[in-house]
Structures are given as C-alpha cells and as structure tokens.
Structure 1
C-alpha cells in the first residue's frame, strides 16, 4: 500500500469470492505444508511500492534467491487505485499471486473463502518473532487462525498548539491525556475563544470508539456492537463539543488534509499526525512550529491504535514452502529494519523497536516523533475490525453527522449505523 504522509490507511471493500477459486499456482495442487524444500517459481504482489522502493525490493528478491537457489520470485506491483478490485478479480479468476500485500480488511474475505493460508498452522514457529498485537492484526472474527505475516506498522502522536492552550488559560505543558481531560479542555478553549478555536477537527471514527473502550464486534464476528451504552456516551460527548464549537463546524465533511490545514492555520488546537508533518510545519507555519506540542493518542484502554500491513500466502499455491519462506524473509527483523530506515514506518518484529534508532533522540524533530511513536507501538492494537468495510465506515459517518446535527439522538444514530453494518456484513 502507498505509505501516506500521516498513516497507513486501509482500503476496504466487500469482496465476494467463490470458494472454488484457484490460486496462481495452478488449482487444487496447493498444500498447507510449509515444511518441505524451498523451491519453485512464485509471484509476489505489492501495493503501489515500485515507484519509490524499486531498488529495495529488487535487492531483497536477489538476496532471497541467493539464499534459496532453487527459487525464482516474480515481482508484481499494482497501483493504489482499484487494488481491492484487482485482488477480488484475481481471486475469482484463479490468478491470485502466491504472496500478496494486504491490509487486514482485504485479507478477511480471502480467509473466509479459504484462499488465505492459516499461518497458525503452516508457520506457527515464526509467531514469536512478531509483536503480539501485530500478529493478531490479520485474525478474522468467527474464524480460527492468522492469515498474513505482519509487515510494516504505523501510528502517530497528537500534535497540539501550545500558544492556543496558553491563550485559553490551559497549561501548555500539560495536554489532555484522558478523554475526560480532552473534553473539559476543549469546552474551555471554545468558551475562552468565543467559539473561534476548536480543539478537534474530525468526527469520531470506528477507531475512536475502540480507543474509548467501546466493544466493536461480537466474538463470533457476526454482529457489530458499537451502539452499546459506552458508544452512545462517546457520541453524546462529541455532540456537546459540536454544539459548543469545540469540534470544528466543518468536521462533518472534513478529510485528513482539510483538518491538517485547519491545524496549520491555528483554527484547531489539536490534530493527529506523524514525523513527516513537522517538516511541513517548519516550512509553512513557523509560528505553529515554534509552539508545537507532542503528546500521545488519547485512549481509555491503555493501547493506542496501529495501522498494519501484511503479506498473505495464497493457500492454493503449488509452492507453499517457498511462498511461506519468502513472506517470512520479507517480514523478518533484519529486512524490516532496513525498510524502516528508508521510510517513516515501523517494524512489526519483536525487539526491533528497542533498537537505538527507535529509542534514542538526536535533537531532531523527526526523531522526537519516531521515538514517541515506537514506544506506543509495543502494545498497540488495530482497532478497526477486519470486517468493517468502506461502506460500513460511510454508514457510520453519515449517522454520526445526523447525531451531531441533532437530527437523531446518539442512540438512534448508532443503532442505525449498526443495523446498516450488520446488513452489509451478511451480504459479504
């Protein structure tokens, strides 16, 4: 997947995959036994990575083929646009590559269709090499197993404008660390600024409900549950912020880019981001840059949100040992560390985040954010349910907007969002 300037956002789609779909290895000749000789020709598909990382992947493949002389890897890179549709078409047509770059939401329908190899059975010996939260990122509710090697991770802190905090009479060195503190500070800032300065610029998403401690889905993976009393409580608090202009009035239609611009101009006091944003602040908003504060994501669970990418092995491949060995090779500690030093992502392997690259500051802004994010990733989780599709996200966003506008109560809005999501789930 393309590495965005703020985070690795998942592209979701409801894929209907026939259970009889054949893999690229040639139909029913596949096996889940990964213990045999590593040999054969395999295909490896990435998600819009060739343009920026061609040399890295060519060197990686060459190193693998040198280690296993009886293998040959053909690298395919697909564009970002239409990637989910491409996977769906390949799965249905029997041309799914042997190793596929996926996000959790993309692996879910493949796993349910029997097209993703269960690594808990085929590659359980590697599990201890990865962070527990990352390994769990490609598990699917209602099934047993793990369906992709965790690859690169990302997360980000919250940036805040110290000057705006001070102007509102808030301690700029003590940003909110709990939801109660966040809501209290936001209301005070809106009051002190006469509604001119909002603290937040985005409506709550499914990840926000997760961070608040709302149960998102039942254990069977058959129904969503974010309309429970705690979910209603969160949306009610956002309604209070919206009414007080502590939530930006344009939040209902905001994108990550538009929210970032609001923060850049001083109209919003807090915004999520990444190390890449600091360079933008320094260049385009030096006043903000001089007053920038960095704090952790707000969470009631003790776990921040992570974005995770993975490598899935096609269960129908003819060369399971080679496909598993390659997916593990790409995602092992050494190769992930090399990749992480070329771009602002984080390795999913256990112990890697203890490397000085992720623990020691050198006085630069980029390092400040990298160290903070790496620390939080050690016990981070992917809050977005793997079965929560793009259509479901839209349904939730629409209902949240109606609640904030007062057209529906928070309870009614979330009940409707859950009903819509459950209907889409049954159709997938």
Structure 2
C-alpha cells in the first residue's frame, strides 16, 4: 500500500461572495471582494467592524429545521460543502455498482474554533444576556453537547457521506484546513482508506471572536470602504479581516480514480507541517520553519523548487505574517521566488481561520483547472520589504501544472502542500 498516489476528484465550497465552487471561482477570477460591515450582530462596540460573511440560507440547501437546531452554522456549512464535493466527484458510497465501500471511506474535518456561533448564542441564553453568574442550563438547546465537542463535525459529514471508515477532526489553528487534507491524503497513502471526504469549516464571526482579536489588535480597524479592508502585502495594511466558510474534497487513490473515469483536478503530491516552538502569536522574521515545511513538501512531491508555477500565500494582511512569508519563500525557493507568481485570496474572502486552508486548496485546484492565477486584491501600495510578484489587483492567465499552498497559524504552526498534475512529467 505504501506510496499510493492521491487524487483530488471532487470540490465543494461555501465562501463569502459565492456558494458553490463555480461562484467562488468567478469571484476570485474577477478580483472581486466579499468583505463588508458585519451584519450578524451590532459591531459598533468593537474596534474591528468588518468581516467576510456568507449569504447562506440552510433551507435552500436541503437542511430542515431539525438540522439547523442540531448543527452549529459551521457544521451546516461543512455538510453542504461535502455534499457538493461528492456530487462533483461522481462517486457513490454504498452497495451500488461502482460505489465506494463505506468501510473504506473516511472523513477528516479541520476546524480552528469549532461551534463558536452556537456556543456564543447559547451562553447568552443560559446566562440571560450575561446577567446571571450561575447560568441556568435548562434554557439550553438539547444539542448543546454537540456544539461543545468538535467531533460532532466529523460525525455530521460522515453521516452525510455514508462514510463508515476513519473519522477524524484536526484542529491546528489557522493551518487546520491544510492539515486536515494532508492527514486524509496520508490515510489513503498508508492504505487505511481508499476514499476520503476531507476539508475544513469555521463560522467564527461572533462577538466573542471579535473581542478576542480586538484585544490583540490582529484584525483591521479600517471601517471606511469595507471592501478594501483586507490588504495583504500592501504597505497600508493594518490587520486581517475575519471571514467564514467551508471547503471539502473527495480524495481517492489515483489509479482507482482513473479506472472509474473520474475527473482529476490535481494530485496531492506533497505535504508537510512544522512548528516554530517559539511564541503563541509571534513569528521569527527569517521564516525558517515555514521554509522547512515547504522544502519537505517539495521533497515528498519529488519536485524541484523551480517547477512551482504559482504560490498561494497565507497572506493574512499583517506586517509580521507578510514579511515572515516573503522570507520563507526566498529561503525555500531560492532565486525562483522572484520569478513565481504569489497571491493571497484572503484579500477577497477574508480569513476564515481553520477553514481558509481548505478554501485555498480549492482555489489552487481551480487555478490549475482554468490556467488562471487569482490576484491579490487591494494591493496598490506595495510594502518595500515584500518584494516578490504578488499579482496585484488583476488575475493573470498562466499555465499552472504545479502549485504550492502554505498556511501559518497561532501556536507556531507552519504547513505546506504541493498540488500537481498527475501527468506533468509526461507532457
């Protein structure tokens, strides 16, 4: 079983500005932004008052009142995205002809903050708006335990997929979305499953989250022109824009996918993660740990640095991150760092914490599909310390056979993944 290759054959995306992978891609290719003033609650008391929200109606996507009562918003997004990925892949799970074996089909879900919105809402109820020191649990929804334990996300996706194989939750902060997909690929490579439904979800736009990021001044205080608030690699940036979303994929053993005639978006050729063991929120300016993750992922993919056609940056829009990443690209890619296009889609869809890594994998696979590199929106005043080609403002047509995507998270997590065309060496 060792050395089995992993294909990505299905994509499902719910992201700000567009539900479904097609609308998501159209927004990126057009360079449009989905950031706006928060409408989920009154943001007036907060320093940061903008976010990237999804216009999502559960009923429109087949979720009934009982589903909505049982599942936090993040779980709802995950189930709908997973269903789209399964439909896109054309694979069935069950006993029908050509269906995947349920016992050989697994699930991996990434999430940084779990059921934030459900827990926030229920605390307000049981504490009577924060007035009760001793909360009254009798007012809580009966499914509160499901909000508390992130494992409920994996259970919901497994039920939706009919998957009876390995089911896992990965929570590594803002790299959760890459790490969940990377873990799922390893499960297939080692032979523990043949098909994995893998991705990530987070719906963190709530008062408690805004208060936490306000306290450390990580999110932008820019309130005028919310659509221009997220400015990765720009000299005028002053913090990231919080977002929400979910992206899921169907991963399969490559030979099996080819035998059933599946459309293969990309091969998950390499993945690695590292920790800087340095600081909860701080980053070393030399980018050494991210560079090491990139080198390791390239090694697993057996790909030279100069074969990378596009780099999807973490690009959160903070000075510390943007400069750390720039240094990491130079350290790991060498002179090629100055030639390869780099961009950040967070400029358009915000930073959805644990979900964004999977959303960015979807962007990379679609960039390979369409031979178009999404731009870094709002990049008008380049930071002189970020001197690479960050594809400002407008998408760029370019053949992309091999793509690198990276993530960086609180706690020092640094992850990298290489996506490639399976037949790239034969062309």
The answer to whether TM tops 0.5 is no
Quick check: which one's strand share is greater? Answer: 2
Task: State the TM bucket, normalised to the shorter chain.
Answer: under 0.3
TM-score, scaled to structure 2: 0.24
The structure whose Rg is larger is: 1
Quick check: which one's helix share is greater? Answer: 1
